[in-house]
Amino acid sequence: MKKCGRSLLGLLILFLVPLLASAQEKTPPPKVLVIMREYLKPGKAGFAHEKTESAFVQAFSRAKWPTNYLGMTSLSGKSRALFLTFYDSFDAWDKDTAAVAKNAALSAAIDRATVADGELLDSLDQGVFVYEDEFSVRPKYADVAHRRLMEIVVFHVRPGHFAEWSELAKMVAVGYEKSVPDAHWACFHSIYGGSDGAYIFLTALKSGSEIDANAQQGKQFEAAMGEDGLKKLSQLEAASVESSESQLFSFNPKMSYVSDEWIKAEPDFWKPKAAAPAAKPATEKPTQ
């Protein structure tokens, strides 16, 4: 992977500081995050993919499955869809996987949906991550139901330089905690399916206007850190960050199997009412 020219500081300023956050919501995300990535063949995104993915949603809905997942589609980079599933522990993930396998009706429905969906895919993979509380700032997991976009920033740490990375990430987190009241993000560390030195930062946004406004938030942070603090951050970044990238995704309710709480919170988005069929024109009587 090529190095990105942006620094950790710059990426956090531009991509990780959402505005208008719900100050009362401070619920951290569950410990384990499983992300499945589906890369689409050219011309197979949009309605075609939503149709095949809806079969999975319907299967889990019919089974009244207790485990939910969030589906989103790419607004940057290669055409792809992400599916995020959170678990309280690795044991919970293992038990959920085993329970699906034991449910004959659900397994059969998933198999059928997988065959249809596979016709649209160029490739797919899956990564498993664990939550890093000390690198996160005011994560608001429950508030994601009210959001519409997800910014994902990935950092690859140089082998043997975790100490510098840890100091860097903690300095940034503490700096934003103190200087930007609305700042929040959740950090996860790659455990399986990717580089051991990969850290992802997730920020759910209400709209693109929050990205437009983040420059002012960055200025607050820079002022709080001061010249010496910013110099220290730059040195730590140069020593510890091998590469980085940022991507933007849009939540897709047709590809998501969310909880009843999320649906009640935003019913018009997560489960919109079907449009009423158009009325048929009155048939004119033949002229006598």
Supply the pLDDT for residue 204.
92
Supply the pLDDT for residue 73.
98
pLDDT band at 276 (very low <50, low <70, confident <90, very high): low
- 113-150 per-position pLDDT tens digit: 999 999 999 999 999 999 999 999 988 787 899 999 99
pTM score over 0.95: no
- For the purposes of burial, counting CB atoms within 10 Å of the CB of 276, is it exposed (0-12), middle (13-18) or buried (19 or more)? exposed
- Locus of tokens 């919109």: 272
**DSSP H or E stretch at residue 227:** helix 214-240
Supply the pLDDT for residue 181.
82
3-state secondary structure at position 154? strand
Alpha helices of 16-161 — where are they, by DSSP H? 47-62, 90-102, 104-118
Is 90 exceeded by the pLDDT of residue 198? yes
At position 266, the amino acid (one-letter code) is: E
Sign of CA dihedral 239, 240, 242, 246: negative
Which residues, including other chains, have CB under 8 Å from residue 231's CB and lie 6 or more apart? Answer: none
> 8-263 has which fold?
Alpha-Beta Plaits (3.30.70)
